[in-house]
Structure 1
Amino acid sequence: MNESKTDILVIGAGSGGLSVAAGASQMGADVILLEGHKMGGDCLNFGCVPSKALIASGKAAYGQAHSAVFGVADHKPQVDYAVAKDHVRDVIAQIEPMDSQERFEGFGVRVIREYGSFVSPTQVQAGDQVITARRVVIATGSSPLVPPIPGLDKVPFYTNETIFELREKPDHLLIIGGGPIGMEMAQAHIRLGCKVTVIEGMKALGKDDPEAADVVLNALRLEGVAIHESAMVAQIRGSDGAVEVVTENGEIYAGSHLLLAAGRKANVDRLNLEVAGIDQTRAGIKTDDTLRTTNRKVYAIGDVAGGLQFTHVAGYHAGIIIRSALFGLPSKAKTNHIPWATYTQPELAQVGMSEAEAHAQYGGNVETAQFDYHHNDRAVAERKTPGFIKVMVVKGRPVGATIVGHQAGELINLWSLAIANNLKMGQIAAMVAPYPTIGELNKRAAGAYFSPRLFENQTVKRVVRFVQRWIP
């Protein structure tokens, strides 16, 4: 058994782990990075990147079939599902070098392609190496949750880790789970010529603003996606090419392929956390607001920390670790400015508090400013009018924003900036946006906040009348 020592040991080469490894090494720390599977982690290989690539294929097909309104004849798209998957593979291949072992070794990181397991509070074994580290960062991410549904072990099924390898177009894709992954894959596949049925035990897109979620769900239903809510799965049966999902109320949904999109679980099984004195919760590894675990020399970041499970959160956590572990500076992770988006068409994005959460915390002090897409000239020109932006404001400062509609994932960035920097609505209103852009929606939402104060305020009107009458 070989022994090594290092300043920073990073377990997991996904988004968060790679960011810590690159930053720490380039700032002078000695860094070892462990990865037992694929460099780039879930996001590059099974998540964000391939899903958005497949969504792009679906969008291209949909555009061909719905162009008559622009003066271009509709055309039934000729979809080659296998070539669409080639497109997905090519997109991954173009991004892979940024996450490659060679690139990080160029930064001075020692990369060991093995899984890591604690053998003491300060030591981790990886293959034939035992590594003693001053600080350990666990960045092992999460995996698809496979619920214990009777019969599931006897029926072929896909998850986000395997669906992108499927090259034969499903005739009828059954999706268990109506969260963001399920709804994105539902729309992509309906546009690529599959029948799609989504089976959700509670409410589809249930973690999002209900009014905004309905805009998305209605759009998917209009495209032909069958969405069944309050449908708890009781049993799976069938065989390859002929699958049936049976719900507790006796409904039976038959299809050719099954995709599980029922949530995620933290990757902790290989870590031997008990030996290191690291506590867990049901969601993942227990951390404080500095991302330290119950072992003060060990941090956990990204999905495995059991909070918001998004690639950009892992990247944000990496910055916290760099500040804390490398420079010894106090640094705490916050969540109120973290945005997220579902990349359906229309998109759905959120940052900070939802309307319900804001009212629950601030009661009558919450004001809601809303502006609809159909009042935006660029949205009208591009026939992208379904949707709205809603901003929750307390004492003149935004505490949350919900956007559903075209480019919602881009528009939400401004509100993350505003919340992160404690900006006032007046500062948003002072922004000048080029005309005509979708980005004007943000400014117009701020304007909607001020409109009642300016146009319905009798004091303002009296002042204006006085100035017009008496001031030369």
Structure 2
Amino acid sequence: MNQSHDLILIGGGVSGLVIASVAGQLGLDVVLIERREKLGGDCLHYGCVPSKTLIRSAAVAHQMRRADQYGLQAMTPKVDLGRVMDRVRASINTLGEHDDPERFRNYGVCVRFGMARFIDPHTVEVDGERIRGRRLVIATGSRPAMPPIPGLADIDYWTNETVFDQRQLPARLAVLGGGPVGVELAQAFARLGSRVTVLQRPSSLLPREDPEIARELARQLSEEGLSVATGSAVESIISGEGEILLQGRNAEGGFQVPADAVLVATGRRPQIDDLGLEAAGVAVENGLIRVDRRMRTSQRHIYACGDCCGPYPFTHVAEYQAGIIIANAVFRLPKRADYRVVPRVTYTAPELAHVGLTETQAQALGMAIEVARFPFRDVDRAVCDGDTAGSAKLVIHKGRLVGATLLGSQAGELIHELVLAMQARLKISQISAAIHAYPTRAQVHRRAVNTLYAPRLFSPRTRRLAGWIQRILP
């Protein structure tokens, strides 16, 4: 009890593990506390890793059905959800080797499993034992937020924490929520063979995204056979006689949706309720731990990162924030977080990737902008791939990129050229001037920018100038 550790980390997800790895290998006295009996956090066990593995299996099933478009014999796959989920579990286990507690113990980190609760600003209690630290980090993540729908608690609904344990493919799946988690899993189950209905209270899917691009994605999902019902509020759920009945209202009046399973994907909430933050003197605002740009809470020796403090619920942001904490807590360098350029990706097919401002956001800020667009149907590699859905949309202010949205195959990979351009404050002319390998999908960036130059290049004035040069100069 009298010993004061250099660093106590509460939470064994990506940010906690990054900090533990660096601090432990530097020789600090580190204690890592995780409430579950395994390290890795939601991303490894209930989020990024299992969902992308499931999405890939679903994509293969989809390709089998449409193989005739590639000159091959199409076939209907026999889908065994249990085998698909075995593959999901194998991916988790493979990547989970990096998060083996023994690895961190070999770095000198004391790994503890149990619930941590603050006793005072420097002390937490775990299983009745009090542990004191000079500096502490809260990285407890988030959990699914449950909507207050009468009857929901009476059914065995799914969340991202239980969906990957399922072994039987439901004939009819209702998905509550049209955010990234909802639409990704909805499309995956539809491609595996379920009849899927997405019920979204707001008037559009993915309401944070560019409305024009979000509408195009909704159209693509509908063409695949998903039933997308936006502006639809579920008011009650009734179970019985072998099915679940969701009842609600939309602009047309009342509706009923029968289902065999219900997936709830209506958002997340920070996992901070049981930490005893009041005893630590850590302030909470709008349900999130309040931090400054150095990731310090209202108690400057206590830091927070990831979903428990925001502002973005992404694994890559949590990892970035961990680096900010390492600089401040370990090396005492006053490094500050900069969220000017934060990409995000929704892993549907086609993928939707975004960075910076949308057209609407830029206009709301009063910025004089140009918008460049280019469809993938005019990109040669997309034609060769037989996958031409979507487009690039670039938002430009004073010759520099301030935002971009890509809808298309591999958009999550392609967005990073634009992330770097924004981070380095490059002019769009530098994107146009860069040699892009042919044939690649990345040519979409250069060609989108060139749509702004073409009217100037082929204007009457430029034509006259070209003619004059030919006549006058040898």
**Structure 1 length-normalised TM:** 0.96
The 8 Å contact of residues 140 and 271 in structure 2, kept in 1 or not, is answered as yes
Taking a change above 3 Å as real, the CA distance of residues 215 and 120 of structure 1, as seen in their structure-2 partners, is: same
Q: Give the letter aligned to residue 32 of structure 1.
A: V
Moved more, 392-401 or 231-240: 231-240
Taking a change above 3 Å as real, the CA distance of residues 5 and 22 of structure 1, as seen in their structure-2 partners, is: same
Counterpart mapping for 1:87-236 below 5 A: 87-202=87-202, 203-236=204-237
SS of 2:307's equivalent in the other structure is: helix
Paired with 1:446 and 1:4, the residues of 2 have a C-alpha distance of 60
Which residue does the alignment assign to 2:246?
245
Which residue does the alignment assign to 1:308?
312
Task: Give the one of 324, 329, 338 matched to 1:325.
Answer: 329
Paired with 2:185 and 2:75, the residues of 1 have a C-alpha distance of 23
Paired with 2:299 and 2:242, the residues of 1 have a C-alpha distance of 48
Paired with 2:460 and 2:19, the residues of 1 have a C-alpha distance of 52
Which residue does the alignment assign to 1:46?
46
Q: Give the letter aligned to residue 33 of structure 1.
A: L
Which residue does the alignment assign to 2:469?
467
Counterpart mapping for 1:254-269 below 5 A: 254-269=258-273
SS of 1:77's equivalent in the other structure is: coil
Per-residue deviation, residues 315-373 of structure 1 (Å, max 9, x unmatched) = 1111111112222222221222110111110000110111111111143x211111110
Q: Give the letter aligned to residue 294 of structure 1.
A: S
Instruction: Give the drift of 1:240.
Output: 8.7
Paired with 2:273 and 2:342, the residues of 1 have a C-alpha distance of 28
Q: Say if 2:4 is the partner of 1:5.
A: yes
Q: Which runs of 5+ in 2 are unaligned?
A: none
Which residue does the alignment assign to 2:22?
23
Paired with 1:457 and 1:6, the residues of 2 have a C-alpha distance of 74
Paired with 2:440 and 2:396, the residues of 1 have a C-alpha distance of 24
Instruction: Give the drift of 1:187.
Output: 0.7
Which residue does the alignment assign to 2:33?
34
**Structure 2 length-normalised TM:** 0.95
Give structure 1 regions of 4+ aligned residues with deviation exceeding 6 angstroms: none
Taking a change above 3 Å as real, the CA distance of residues 164 and 286 of structure 1, as seen in their structure-2 partners, is: same
Paired with 2:17 and 2:91, the residues of 1 have a C-alpha distance of 19
Q: Say if 2:75 is the partner of 1:83.
A: no
Per-residue deviation, residues 103-135 of structure 1 (Å, max 9, x unmatched) = 112222211112211111121122243222222
Taking a change above 3 Å as real, the CA distance of residues 466 and 192 of structure 1, as seen in their structure-2 partners, is: same
The 8 Å contact of residues 176 and 198 in structure 2, kept in 1 or not, is answered as yes
Q: Say if 2:448 is the partner of 1:449.
A: no
Instruction: Give the drift of 1:461.
Output: 4.2
The 8 Å contact of residues 22 and 107 in structure 1, kept in 2 or not, is answered as yes
Paired with 1:5 and 1:397, the residues of 2 have a C-alpha distance of 50
Q: Give the letter aligned to residue 28 of structure 2.
A: A
Taking a change above 3 Å as real, the CA distance of residues 243 and 110 of structure 1, as seen in their structure-2 partners, is: same
Q: How many residue pairs are counted as aligned between the two chains?
A: 469
Paired with 2:376 and 2:277, the residues of 1 have a C-alpha distance of 49
Paired with 1:371 and 1:310, the residues of 2 have a C-alpha distance of 28
Paired with 2:288 and 2:308, the residues of 1 have a C-alpha distance of 5
Instruction: Give the drift of 1:439.
Output: 1.3
Per-residue deviation, residues 355-408 of structure 1 (Å, max 9, x unmatched) = 111111143x21111111011000011111111111111111111100001111
CA RMSD across the alignment: 1.6
The 8 Å contact of residues 369 and 448 in structure 1, kept in 2 or not, is answered as yes
SS of 2:285's equivalent in the other structure is: coil
Q: Say if 2:380 is the partner of 1:356.
A: no
Instruction: Give the drift of 1:46.
Output: 0.3
Instruction: Give the drift of 1:239.
Output: 4.4
Instruction: Give the drift of 1:28.
Output: 3.5
Moved more, 442-451 or 335-344: 442-451
Q: Say if 2:337 is the partner of 1:338.
A: no
Q: Say if 2:431 is the partner of 1:428.
A: yes
The 8 Å contact of residues 197 and 226 in structure 2, kept in 1 or not, is answered as yes
Percent identity of equivalent pairs: 41
Q: Give the letter aligned to residue 153 of structure 2.
A: D
Paired with 1:454 and 1:132, the residues of 2 have a C-alpha distance of 68
Instruction: Give the drift of 1:250.
Output: 2.6
Which residue does the alignment assign to 2:60?
60
